[in-house]
Structure 1
Amino acid sequence: MKQILIVEDEQLIAELERDYLEVSGYKVDIAMDGEQGLKLALRGVYDLILLDVMLPLLNGFEVCKQIREHHQIPILMVTAKKEDIDVIRGLGLGADDYITKPFKPGELVARVKAHLARYERLIGTKEQKDEIRIQGLFIDNASRRVFVHEQEINLTTKEFELLIFLATNPNRVFSKDHIFERIWGFDAMGDAQTVTVHIRKLREKMEIDPSNSQYIETVWGAGYRFRV
């Protein structure tokens, strides 16, 4: 049985989310503040985390950031704000998707199912090469570890998936919309700006000079290309 952690300080919302997820066959725990949520998340027993942005003691962005330093499981952020900056910050820190309050419980369950299925396909896929070596870059797909010039870098789930997609299709140009649909899926909320944020994060982690990328090239007016 899949285990889900809900980090939400509004009790009625947390209990509603829990009830719908339990009816759908998931085991659910609830944390009412950011510090408790982080403590539970770091135990490593959960398959997905449903994380509110506005939390007491420790906000959702900081919780997401710290979880990503240890675990790559899907994180679905919940926000009452519709401003793009909140969404971009959340996705840039490693969140896989977001949902805006108020939402339909059925939509929430569908999102959870989709991200769990996507994550299982990602970690269980046999279609990709076990190892990729390109210009000082080494990707161990089996262990999900990435090294640049023998130095390991820590990537989020979506950063790793994005890197794998580009690196296994070298010298091909993909539009932002194509990348978004391929990595996040048609049902995910967000837009091409999400791709821009993740490309920037990848460059910051992989490149000596992110403004002069050795690996991921911007093709102006067209999209991105993994250069070999």
Structure 2
Amino acid sequence: MDKKQILVVDDEQGIRDIINEYLVLEDFEVIEAIDGVDGLNKFKNHLISVVILDVMLPKMDGWKVCREIRATSSVPIIMLTARGEEYDKLFGFELGIDDYMVKPFSPKELLARIKAILGRSNKVVEEPEKLNRLQIEEVLIDFDARSVYLGKKLLSMTPKEYDLFSFFVNNQGKVFSREQLLNQVWGYEFLGDVRTVDTHIKMLRETLGKYRKWITTAWGIGYKFQVEEKV
């Protein structure tokens, strides 16, 4: 079996070395890039399974690299950032990243997140076996196309927003804690930052517009998806 290739784009040699050391021990093949342009070229010329992408890069920053990759691929992207402000996280998720880690980070935790992402790549979210589409009021979910429409308008959802929405739709009325959502949607056994869930809930509510009311907060517990029955 061919080794899975992990692209590490970071201009710091020390960061690349330590990531390389941990990944090679787990039988991954590491492709290194020292700047944004180099990273895009390496991505185009290799069969990459996961991208580890620094935000602050020479020649082309990580945000632009992410946009370029997302224009043609849904490959999992983990961003590395020296800052942890909410704006950076929200901006990254809106671009379609799958996760982020703030420097300095634990290489073991990064490895665990990579394994979790790869472990869920072929079983993203359980969806109805017989239903290819589901209509809820004005919202149409096309499970085959992983698309959601409001009327005739295609809603712009990141891959993880869709995963979260699809999970909620198929578990309507059930309350899930943030840790449970991380486990079910992201695949983390309590390794992720639970604030990641809050950020995606905020994004999903904004995307749903007037139907944001479907996602309710169970105070002190987590979140629930519930469509009000018409009388």
If the TM-score is normalised by the length of the shorter chain, which range does it land in? 0.7 to 0.9
Question: In 1, distance between residues paired with 2:78 and 2:144?
Answer: 24
Does 1:187 find its partner at 2:187? no
Q: What is residue 155 of structure 1 aligned with on the other side?
A: 157
Give the 3-state SS of the residue equivalent to 1:122 in structure 2: coil
Q: Distance in 2 between matches of 1:186 and 1:169?
A: 20
Cα-Cα RMSD: 3.1
Contact 1:130 1:140 in 2 (8 A): no
Q: Which SS does the other structure have where 1:169 is aligned?
A: coil
Residue identity matched to 1:218: T
SS in 1 for 2:20: helix
Deviations 1:128-169 (A, max 9, x none): 555231234333434434444344445333112101101112
Gaps of 5+ in 1: none
Number of the residue aligned with 1:225: 225
Report the Cα offset of residue 103 of structure 1: 3.2
**Residue identity matched to 1:213:** Y
Choose from 78, 81, 96 the match for 2:80: 78
CA contact (8 A) 1:52 1:77 kept: yes
The one-letter amino acid of 2:104's match is P
CA distance in 2 between partners of 1:131 and 1:215 (Å)? 25
Q: Using the alignment, how far apart are the partners of 1:215 and 1:128 within structure 2? A: 27
* Percent identical residues: 34
Give how far 1:10 is off. Answer: 0.9
TM-score w.r.t. the length of structure 2 is 0.77
Alignment-mate amino acid for residue 191 of structure 2: A
User: Secondary structure, in 3 states, of the residue corresponding to 2:215?
Assistant: strand
Deviations along 1:154-190, whole A, 9 cap, x unmatched?
5333112101101112344445454344323333332
Task: Give the distance between the partners of 1:129 and 1:165, measured in 2 at CA.
Answer: 16
Q: How does 1:7-46 map to 2 (within 5 A)?
A: 7-41=9-43, 45-46=47-48
Quick one: distance in 1 between partners of 2:180 and 2:25?
35
CA contact (8 A) 1:38 1:63 kept: yes
State the number of aligned residues. 222
1:97 Cα deviation from its structure 2 partner: 1.9
- Does the 8 Å CA contact 1:79/1:99 hold for their aligned counterparts? yes
1:132 maps onto 2:133 in alignment: yes
Gaps of at least 5 residues in structure 2 are none
- What's the secondary structure of 1:120's corresponding residue? coil
In structure 2, C-alpha distance between the alignment counterparts of 1:106 and 1:219, rounded to whole Å = 32
| TM-score using structure 1 length | 0.78
Partner of 1:216: 214
More moved, 70-79 vs 84-93: 84-93
SS state at 1:213 partner = helix
- How far apart are residue 118 of structure 1 and its match? 1.8
Question: Could you report, residue by residue, the CA deviation over 1:106-125 in whole angstroms, capped at 9, with x for unpaired residues?
Answer: 332222112110222217x6
In 2, the alpha carbon distance for the partners of 1:57 and 1:26 equals 27
